[in-house]
Structure 1
Amino acid sequence: MKKTVLLFVFFASLTANAQTGNFKNKAWLDELVSIMQGTYSSEKQAAVDTSYFNISLRMVPIWKDKGHYLYVEQALSKRQDKPYRVRIYKITQRGENEFVSEIYTLKNEKDWIGKWNDPAAFQKLTETEIELKPGCEVILKRIEKNKFSGQTGDKTCPSELRGASYATSKVTVLPNQIISWDQGFDKDGKQVWGAEKAGYIFDKI
């Protein structure tokens, strides 16, 4: 009976910690968000391997009073005024060493393109104007100081791009680099878009 009570208290404590965010390593969340933000380029990789494009990636913190949010723009280097990906990432801690990057689309994304250089502008953006992409969140773990790695779930992120049925993302975050491998697969598991050999290497500028 005593062992049962102790086990109940232990698991109740874990549940309470997960709900309140009372983690021993809470500073790791700040560490992750700090190294994620910045301006990146895959120019070096594209210069040595023509199968990769020269892509610009910008990740800027917004809504600091609401938590950890990043406004994200991804575009071909020569077409930065017309990004092909406009998102908001919400970064939270879900366990002692488990972090979640939820992905949101913007309903009127054209109104926000280029606003990465004026983060205060996003105070006018409300949470009703963004929409969660369920199943597309990236689960990250801290490998060592200033290094996080993770991926999406298995076939959990739906995609209709270029005949895809689902998409996957594998991500490694480092102090001066983000390695991101996004791929789309059809219903039979055949890859229909994305890099084939390995992920894109984005160097922080």
Structure 2
Amino acid sequence: MGNDSDAGGGGGIVRGLVLKAIVLFGGVLLFKRLRRSTTRWDHARAVADALCGDKFSWEQACRDPDNYFNLRMLACPATEMLDGSRVLYFEQAFWRTPQKPFRQRLYIVKPCPKESKCDVELSSYAIRDIEEYTNFCDRPKDQRPHDEEIIEDIAEHLTTIHLSRCERGKRCLYEGSTAPQGFPNSWNGASYCTSDLAIHKNGEVHTWDRGYDEEGNQVWGSKEGPYEFKPNRNSREDILPLNFSSTGSLEKKIEGSFVLKE
């Protein structure tokens, strides 16, 4: 009887040691996973992925039709640079006329330099042969410009936004802006322009582009706040597009720029 007790006790000790080993091993793995830092390229990929997709400002236009139009923002991967930077095609159009974008750009998304305080650098470029890119994302890949052509069509550098990971507790994932002095812009009497961008956890992208004259007066862009673009999760066919009574004239008015409210 004493032997049976000893044997049982020995087995319990072994089981206890095995259980402790499993818990300790699992704890080490969890600790390593929690300690694993996000790399600079992880941030760049996250921003590029978040920008891609079909997004609309229709909810904001419904709430405040006097200050916001119902716009479609569309972005998709175009190609990749030799250094790993991602190139995105980006366009904006009125909800009712997506086939006629009024703004077309190529974005280059890459990590900020190591010496910088930001995480991701988002640069906007004009497109050399812009007609070849209209509705780029909606076309089959074999009907799009090839990778080499896309690289060659990256033209004038327009703006660069420096994004940083949002602090814990905020709604956003990344946010940032251009430098305070902005970038040269001569549209509609402007001397320079600035851009702010925020990427939210629910897939929203908030953008705020504004142009200023030499005296610092705003001459184009929304004055009430950023545009709020939300992912296209449902059909919009049953939504009444607001402030589109003069779509044709508005398209001419904002051609070549992102003029939302003067």
Structure-2 residue corresponding to 1:68? 86
Deviation at 1:65, TM superposition (A): 6.4
Structure-1 residue corresponding to 2:60? 45
Q: Secondary structure at the match of 2:46?
A: helix
Would the aligned equivalents of 1:102 and 1:137 in 2 still touch at CA under 8 Å?
A: yes
Q: Secondary structure at the match of 2:145?
A: helix
Q: How does 1:21-170 map to 2 (within 5 A)?
A: 24-50=39-65, 51-64=67-80, 66=82, 67-95=85-113, 97-118=118-139, 120=141, 121-123=144-146, 125-134=149-158, 136-144=159-167, 147-170=173-196
Partner AA of 1:99 in structure 2: V
Would the aligned equivalents of 2:193 and 2:210 in 1 still touch at CA under 8 Å?
A: yes
TM-score, normalised via structure 1 length: 0.81
Change (3 A) 1:143 1:103: same
- In 1, Cα distance between equivalents of 2:42 and 2:218: 38
- In 2, Cα distance between equivalents of 1:174 and 1:113: 27
87-96 or 46-55, larger mean C-alpha shift = 87-96
Would the aligned equivalents of 1:107 and 1:130 in 2 still touch at CA under 8 Å?
A: yes
Change (3 A) 1:119 1:94: farther
Identity %: 25
Q: Secondary structure at the match of 1:111?
A: helix
CA RMSD after TM alignment: 2.0
Would the aligned equivalents of 1:102 and 1:132 in 2 still touch at CA under 8 Å?
A: no
Change (3 A) 1:103 1:119: farther
TM-score, normalised via structure 2 length: 0.64
Partner AA of 2:193 in structure 1: A
Number of equivalences = 182
Structure-2 residue corresponding to 1:7? none
67-76 or 118-127, larger mean C-alpha shift = 118-127
Gaps of 5+ in 1: 1-22
Q: Are residue 177 (structure 1) and residue 192 (structure 2) matched? A: no
- In 1, Cα distance between equivalents of 2:124 and 2:43: 20
25-34 or 37-46, larger mean C-alpha shift = 25-34
More strand by share: 1
Partner AA of 1:29 in structure 2: A
User: Residue deviations 1:84-110, cap 9 Å, x none?
Assistant: 110010000014652111111111111
Deviation at 1:28, TM superposition (A): 2.0
Partner AA of 1:88 in structure 2: L
